[in-house]
Structure 1
Amino acid sequence: MEEQAQLITKIKHYLTTHGLVERLQLAVPVTVRFLAQGEYNQNFLIGTGSHQYVFRLNYGSQINAKNQIRYEYNALKWLERSGCTPRVCYVDDRKQDFNQGLLIMEFLHGRPLDYRTDMLTAAQIFGQIHQLPVDAAAEGTLIAEKDNILRARVAECQQLLQPVWGSKYVPDHAQHVLERALDTCRQNVDQEAFFKDQQLWRVNNTEVNSHNFIIGKQGWLIDWEKPVISHPVQDISQFLASTTTLWRTDIRLTQETKRAFIDKYLAITGFNRRDFLTALRIYHPYLMLRALSWSAMALDEYGSGEKALQNQEIYHKVQQYMQADFIDQAIKEQVLDEK
C-alpha cells in the first residue's frame, strides 16, 4: 500500500509538471486512485466528474513488442473509428519520469460483460470492429498473421511452454496433455491454406474475456495490449471458449447461446456463414492450446516467484486450469456443434 501511495503521488506530480491538468481539464487538486491491475499493466483513475481518465503504466509485452505502450496507443487511435473502443489522449514512451511506458485514455462508465444478458451486445461490438477493413495505416502499425495464423499459435505455444517442460509447479499430467496437443496442432498447420484463400483480414483484440468489455450507455471493448491483423475467427473463437468464459465467472455458454451470438455477428459483418464456421472449427484447437499453454506458463511463473505483478485471482484460476479433469475436457473442446 505504501508503494502504491508513492506511485499515486508521483502520478499527480507528473500530471502537473507536464501540463496535463490543463490539457485534460482536470479539477484541482487532482484526484488519483488505483483502479485495476493485470498481468502487464497497472491502471489508475485520474480526475472526477465528466473529466475522468485512465492512467496506464505498462510493465511488459506479451507480443515481444519493442515499444509496447506505443503499439497499444497506435492501435487505439486506429480503432477509434469503430465507436466501440476507448479514445486515447496521450502517450509517453520515453521512460524518463517512470520506468514504464504510459498512456492516458478516457474512462468509460459501466460494468463488465455479463454472459447471461449481454451476448448480443458483444456481437454488436465485435461486428462493428470487425466490419472495419484493414488499411495501410493498420498494416504499417500492427503485427499481421495473414500467412501464419496457425503457425503463429504453434510458435507462440512453443515459447510459452519452454519453461513448463519439467516444471515442478505444473502437474505432470498437464504437461503430457499439452505436449500431445502441441504435436497434433503442429502436424495440422497446413489447414492454414483455408484462411489464406478467404482473404478475410481484420484487427483482432486477442484478449476478449468478460472484464475487457464495458457495458454502459453502450458497449465497448477495452484493453488493446496485443491486437493483431488476422482472421476475425481469432477473437470469436476465444470469446466463446470455456477458458475465457470461466476466467472471471463460473459460466459455460450453451450451444443455443453461442448460435444466437454467431447469428447476430454474421448479420452485422455479412461474412459467409459456412466459411466462418469452418474457420472456427479449424482454429479452435489452436486457441485452446494457446490458452492452456499460457496458463501453464503463468502457473510456473507464480510458483517460481518470477512474476513482477502478482494477482492471486489469476494464480488460483491457472491452478484450476491445470487440474486433470479440467485440462482433459478443455483440450478436446469443440466451440460450436453446428456444421
Structure 2
Amino acid sequence: MRELVSRDFSIKQIAELVSGEIIGNAEKSVSKVAILDDATENQISFLAHTKYKKVALHSKAGAILTKEKIETDSTQILVKDPYLALVKVMGLFFKESFVPRIAPSAQINPTSRIDENVIIGENVVIGARCKIAANTVIFPNATICPNTIIGENCRIHSGTVIGSDGFGFVASEESITKIPQVGRVKIGNFVEIGANCTVNCGTLGDTVISDFVKLDSQVHVGHNVKIGKGTLIAAQTGISGSVEIGNFVQIGGQVGIDGHLKIGNYSKVGGKSGVTKNVSEGEIVFGYPAKEIHFAKKMEAILRKLVKNEFKHD
C-alpha cells in the first residue's frame, strides 16, 4: 500500500520538517530510511531508545534522528521525539498508494452500503445491512458479519472477523443453551484492527470501538465491550464480555481482562497481566492478579527474597 519515492532530501530539508537542530553537514542528502544496523552513508536512521546507543555509535548512517547528542561521525538531527520525527520523515520517502477498488472475489450482500473511496480486498465477505464509510480499507480474507458499522478511514487487516457471535451460553446440569447474539458492532473513525482479530457482536446492544482505537493482531474483543477513544491494545489480549475500557488506555500483549470490569481513562495494563477488578483512571497495573505496579514490584521483590532464603536453609 506504500510505495518508495525515488528522491533525495537534504538534511536541512528534513530538519525543517521535524523542527530539529543539525549537528554536522546540513547539505548532505539522503535517499532512504533504514535501521541503525543496516543504514549506509546515503540513508537516515533514528535512535529512540538508549539501549541502542552503542549500535548508533557504530552505525554507518548518513544521518541519525536522536533526542540527545551522541559521539558519532554521522550527521545528527536533534529532536524532541525521535519516533514522531521518524514518522514524518518516512512520509517523505514512502507515499500511500490508495486506489479505490472492490476485488471481484469479494462477496458483498446487496443490502449493505459501501461509501466512496473504499478498498475491499480479495475474498472479503460482507454480510447483510453493513455500512462501510469512506476511505476505509478492508484487507483480503476479512469477514464483516451482518449489521456491522465501520466508520471512515479505518483499516481492517487480513483474517479478522467482525461481528461474530459472542460467547453466550446458559449452562445447567442437563444441558448448555446458546443465548442468541442479536446486537451489532459499531466501529468509529480512524480505527485500525490488526490481522486475525475477532470482535464479537453485542448480545442485545452494541459492541463499540471508538475513534482512533488501534488493535494489534490476534486481539479478541468480547460481546458488548466498549473501547474508548485513542486506546491501544497489543497482540493476543483477550477482553471478556461487557468490559468498559476508557479513553487513551494502553494495554500490553497477552493481557486477560475479566468480564464486566471498568478500565479507567489513561490507565495502563502491563503485558501478561490478568485483570480481575476495576482499574482506576490513570492507574498502572501489572501481574496476576493485576495490582498497582509499585505494589506488584514490591511483592515480587519480597517473594524473590523469601525463595532465596528458603534455598539457603535447604
TM-score range, shorter chain: under 0.3
Q: With structure 2 as the length reference, what TM-score do the two structures score?
A: 0.24
User: Which structure dedicates a bigger proportion of its chain to helix?
Assistant: 1
The structure showing larger relative contact order (alpha-carbon pairs under 8 Å, at least 6 residues apart) is 1
User: Which structure dedicates a bigger proportion of its chain to strand?
Assistant: 2
Q: With structure 1 as the length reference, what TM-score do the two structures score?
A: 0.23
